[in-house]
Amino acid sequence: MTTKAMPAALSTGMQRLGTETAFEVLARARALEAQGRRVIHLEIGEPDFGTPANIVEAGVRAFRDGHTHYCPAPGLPELREACAEHLTRHRRLPIDPGRVVVAPGAKPFLFFGVVATCDPGDEVIYPNPGFPIYESVIRWAGATPVPLPLSEEHGFAFTAEQLAERLTPRTKLVILNSPANPTGGIVDAGLNAEIARLLGEHGCWLLSDEVYAEMLYDADHDTVAAHQGLLDRTMLVDGFSKTFAMTGWRLGYAALPEPLVEPVTRLLINSVSCTPPAIQLAGVEALNGPRTEIDAMLAEFRRRRDAIVEGLNSLPGVSCLMPRGAFYAFPNITGTGLGAKELADRLLYDGGVAALAGTAFGDYGEGHLRLSYANSMENLEEAISVMRDVVAEIQVVAS
């Protein structure tokens, strides 16, 4: 007699874990390319520049010099020190290297930050539209996501009143992201001061995702951690992916409140053991080496930002606020008469322009697209011209 095996089921947690639509749109765009179609990629959130040569050289040298074994879980002392010095200088904050933990990317800190602090029943306030991983991991942890809407009306920020309305005795964590993906909006010093005043009365943690802190165009970066009493409660997350065009190296770091250093290190030990040491040594070079290539990249992003925003504002039914940081434009497309997902699909299939629907970043992203301007000026100009044709066609059909 043969016994039939019971079908194996996934954990219930997996049903709550979301994903990042950018990877799904990229796969659809690649499938079109495999059929011979040309696609302009504006969906991907990574610099189109190569990693600066001095950083690559430092990494290669480190591999050759034999840095190919396990290393301390929270990171190499020299990188932890370089990160602490960098944060102390750039954020004007006294950061001790003992608080700095290194991981393969900034992303693990979003996961570990929530896992280390939140239980089922806890509430987590997070920006919406925002990086989709926030809501995904909050739900996976069984906590309750409480969206904080970022509206065009407030320059893609929020007001202190909106935050106050969402704070309850169950609020365990507040996530902030400035400069923000997908909107390019920022939380300025005035708003951070109000946040500090409000949170003074709440014993919750903060996670400040600052991976775009050095990609600012018209403003100085202000970190919430610098405000009254918040340094000891804030997980300040940064990374190398964006600033140094190092997305594939997988390297990030966080300055953590002292009580979270050991738990987050334990999560690292349970998951990845450590971050490859040769990659970390490339990170030391990134922080301490010349910044000429980085400055040139940023100047080019500014040029492209100005061009794409002007192009978007010239399209019928489309309007776009000037992003203040990162490398994304988040145009309002409600005047086209189509929803965000529908328009993104039309652009991809009719025009060969891959963009993300604002709803890929949460319900409050409806009515918007996210376009990454980490692409050549020629491609951006072509994309605007394709969009003009697609939008015109939609309007002809509608009339």
Binding site for ligand PLP (CB under 6 A): 45, 105-107, 131, 177, 181, 209, 211, 239, 241, 247, 252
Of 52 and 351, which CB lies nearer to ligand PLP in the complex structure? Answer: 52
Contacts of 254 (CB under 8 A, 6+ apart): 100, 101, 103, 106, 109, 113, 235, 236, 237, 238, 264
- Least Cβ distance, residue 344 to ligand PLP (angstroms): 18
- Least Cβ distance, residue 336 to ligand PLP (angstroms): 26
Of 352 and 358, which CB lies nearer to ligand PLP in the complex structure? Answer: 358
SS3 label, residue 317: coil
Identity of the amino acid at 182:
P
Of 215 and 343, which CB lies nearer to ligand PLP in the complex structure? Answer: 215
Q: Give the integer Cα–Cα distance in Å for 48 and 181.
A: 17
- 94 CB-contact burial (10 Å; exposed 0-12 / middle 13-18 / buried 19+): exposed
- Least Cβ distance, residue 64 to ligand PLP (angstroms): 25
- Least Cβ distance, residue 315 to ligand PLP (angstroms): 25
Of 74 and 239, which CB lies nearer to ligand PLP in the complex structure? Answer: 239
- Least Cβ distance, residue 107 to ligand PLP (angstroms): 3
**Alpha-carbon torsion (386, 334, 45, 12), positive or negative:** negative
Strands 144-149 and 100-103, by their bridges, are unpaired
Q: Give the integer Cα–Cα distance in Å for 100 and 253.
A: 7
Of 23 and 349, which CB lies nearer to ligand PLP in the complex structure? Answer: 23
- Least Cβ distance, residue 98 to ligand PLP (angstroms): 22
Of 149 and 351, which CB lies nearer to ligand PLP in the complex structure? Answer: 149
Q: Give the integer Cα–Cα distance in Å for 224 and 232.
A: 11
SS3 label, residue 198: helix
Edge-first strand order for the sheet with 356-357 is 328-329, 369-372, 356-357
Closest CB to ligand PLP belongs to which residue? 105
